[in-house]
Amino acid sequence: MALVLISGATFLATNWRLRGWLAGRWDLAGERQPDGKPAGVTSSAASNEGGQKPGIDMSRTKLVGRARGVKQWELEAAEIRIQEGGRASSGTGGGGRGGGPAIVVLKDIRGGMIFQEGKPRLGFEAAKAEANPGTGDFKLMGGVLLTALRTEPTGPNTGPEATLEVPDLRWDARSERLECSGPVELRTRGVVVKGERVSGSMKDKTLVIEGNVRIFKMNGSLTCKRAIYRFEAGTLEIVGESELNIDMG
């Protein structure tokens, strides 16, 4: 997994092994402050004010994750902190010797994209995120909005095809899968789908909603075991025994 950070006029390309970099091995190009550090970047390794773990703080930063040289995801954050020896929230794979690996904590996430086969498939935004440099996994928290994007074979991205609102989202880089706890709500073409949880596969290009699934449209509703949204085709499939309710009033 490779990490690219862009902070103002500053550019960093490094691998996910950040311990040496956190210790002061700066490898950035662009403007620098009088002390030699990159502009827009501060380090709390020496002062450790307020009992905060040693780390590096940045603002107005773009973060790009790559797997085997291919862009897997990207996001923009108003604030970013690279924290050494921290332990991320459940779902980002923290742990290890010395209190765990470095983690990346981000706030006010905008312009997030998950790619598959070089194309942006899902967009996202959230209040906060944590990324694990060792695995490439990340977790989104607070007001998470996931947007399914439809890309025409011969044209540019055609914009949002569906939106999914969830409390949090966990991304597994190795399997290219995401998991979200409920309640979840998907909206597409006048249809609203509600459930208790959702999982997604970039390889299958699907979002699977499960747990007390209810589908609403106009004056009718339907309950089923599972609903599968295929975000490339823009189709919604109903799986298992279902019950249709129509309001005749």
- Give the pLDDT confidence of 204-237 residue by residue, as tens digits: 999 999 999 999 998 889 999 999 999 888 899 9
pLDDT at 24: 33
For residue 144, list its beta bridge partners: 166
- Residue 209 sits at the vertex; the CA angle it makes with 206 and 215, to the nearest 5 degrees, is 115
pLDDT at 55: 59
| Residues whose CB falls within 8 Å of the CB of residue 6, separated by 6 or more in sequence, listed in order | 12, 61, 62, 64
> In angstroms, rounded to a whole number, what is the distance separating the alpha carbons of residues 200 and 166?
13
Domain 2-174 has CATH 2.60.40.1120: no
Collect the ranges in the chain with pLDDT lower than 50.
Answer: 6-34, 36-41, 43-49, 88-98, 153-159
pLDDT at 89: 43
